[in-house]
Amino acid sequence: MFRRLFGKQEEKTQDEILLEQSLQKTRGGILGRISTIFQANEITDELWDELEETLIVADVGMETTSELVEKTRTRVEREGIKATKDAYLILKQEMVALLRADEPLQIEQPRILTVVLVVGVNGSGKTTTIGKLAYRYRLRGKRVVLAAGDTFRAAAIEQLQVWGKRAGVEVIAQAPGSDPAAVLFDAMRASQESRKAEILIADTAGRLQNKFNLMQELDKMRRVAAKQVHRAPHETLLVLDASTGQNAILQAKGFKETAGVTGLVLTKLDGTSKGGAVLSIKKVLGVPVRFIGTGEKIEDLAEFDPVAFVEGLVGE
């Protein structure tokens, strides 16, 4: 019913199945209670109170919780809805509305070369995500090149090379310690000339959003990209460790202001019960979630789909 409401086929895609599996812990936790709340016989004040409390405990955040409950309640009252199962449907619709992106993802839009910058704090899962993205788009018949823009440590370059091999795509790298903007410049030129690549994905060093020098370095990469290819970088994906819940959102605020972030990748959703925090991300940051990391393997990446996410979050 819920899927059909959004014009979805009954058959689930591989991405939707991955999403649902990665939300098992979240659904098994406090958020799983929501479907029980809506098994009550009547819609009462207590039902709304209980819903609000559950969402807050599930790390959804105060502001988003209030808005979500208020909107759902208003619609239920205005539309004269009496059955709890119909109210539950409205709640899920409102959750989907919170997550919808305003713009399409740029990676597969037609253009000569699409440049994707991947940023985030240490250990959030940038390099792993790049490997997964490269694999995903190569399987779709795209020519992909990776740029080893994390020149901080030799091991970081090697790690990207390992992922490149796994994904079956080329990695453009320079010696450790080189200027990341120069690596990107080289990789862009190689992509356009000898490699004829359609998608270039650049790794960057893990950094804190408040480290001035590192943020300057990122800015330089952006400027170099823009000089060489019209409107590049076309996507700047911020990778966040979803297991840190609301903290991930705080971190993202800092990045968003300085790094021109256009989309989010949430990793390690599979290992956490804090998936509820995802509901407030788009509202708080104004940036949509684009991908979900669902494990450590190369195929463990799902394109974010609000309907499948909400289904996985609270159950059908």
In the complex with Mg ion, the residue whose CB is nearer, 92 or 268, is 268
The residue among 143, 132, 133, 267 whose CA lies nearest residue 195 is 143
Q: Note whether 195 and 143 are within 8 A (CB).
A: yes
295 binds ligand GTP (CB under 6 A): yes
Q: Which among ligand GTP, Mg ion, none contacts residue 120 (Cβ within 5 to 8 A by kind)?
A: ligand GTP
Nearer to ligand GTP, 114 or 294 (CB): 294
- How many separate helices (H) and strands (E) can be counted in the chain? 14, 8
Q: How far is the CB of 145 from ligand GTP (least distance, A)?
A: 18
Task: Work out which of 64, 114, 127, 294 binds Mg ion, going by CB under 5 A.
Answer: 127
- 123 binding partner (options ligand GTP, Mg ion, none; Cβ < 5 to 8 Å by kind): ligand GTP
SS3 188: helix
151 lies in the site for Mg ion, by CB under 5 A: no
3-state helix, strand, coil split of the chain in percent (to 5) is 55, 10, 35
Helix (H) or strand (E) holding 131: helix 126-139
Q: What are phi and psi of 37, to 5 degrees?
A: -55, -40
- Give the C-alpha distances (Å, rounded to integers) separating 208 from 152, 274, 313: 14, 22, 30
x/- binding map, residues 204-243, to ligand GTP, per CB under 6 A?
A: --x--------------------------------x----
The candidate with the shortest Cα–Cα distance to 237, out of 87, 106, 112, is 106
Nearer to Mg ion, 65 or 127 (CB): 127
What are residue 114's DSSP bridge partners? 199
Residue 270 has which token pair? 């599979």
Is 273 a binder of ligand GTP (CB under 6 A)? no
Question: What, of Mg ion, ligand GTP, none, does residue 233 touch, CB below 5 to 8 Å by kind?
Answer: none
Which residues of the shown chain bind ligand GTP in the complex (CB under 6 A)? 120, 122-128, 150, 156, 206, 239, 267-268, 270-271, 293-296, 300
Which residues of the shown chain bind Mg ion in the complex (CB under 5 A)? 126-127
